[in-house]
């Protein structure tokens, strides 16, 4: 039995990681690469933005991540651009 208790942040990151596993391979690859590269540096606000972005369906998310569409919210658009740069 593991007596180590995860911090709330570690648990939130693990949930976020699993939410990044998508049905579209293209989304999956971009999101997984982003989390591997930048995931540990995300602050709480950025994690919330990414969670909100992950509420999009796969086709909409792909439109955003491929640059074919833009988020109306500038903070969300910055997160999209950060994912695209990873």
Residue-level pLDDT, tens digit, the chain, 86 residues: 444 567 888 888 899 999 999 889 999 999 999 999 999 899 999 999 999 999 999 999 999 999 999 999 999 999 999 999 99
d(CA 21, CA 29): 9
Is the sign of the CA dihedral 6, 11, 12, 14 positive or negative?
positive
Predicted local confidence at residue 5, as pLDDT: 64
Predicted local distance difference test score (pLDDT) of residue 3: 47
Rounded CA gap, 5 and 53, in Å? 28
- DSSP summary character for residue 23: S
- pTM across the whole model: 0.85
**Three-state DSSP class for residue 46:** helix
Q: What is the pLDDT of residue 47?
A: 94
């Amino acid at each position: 039995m593991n007596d180590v208790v995860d911090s709330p942040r570690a648990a939130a990151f693990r949930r976020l990681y699993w939410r990044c596993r998508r049905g579209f391979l293209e989304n999956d690859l971009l999101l997984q690469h982003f989390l591997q590269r930048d995931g540990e540096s995300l602050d709480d606000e950025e994690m919330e933005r990414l969670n909100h972005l992950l509420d999009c369906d796969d086709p909409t998310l792909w439109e955003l991540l491929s640059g074919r569409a833009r988020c109306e919210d500038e903070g969300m658009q910055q997160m999209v651009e950060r994912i695209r740069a990873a």
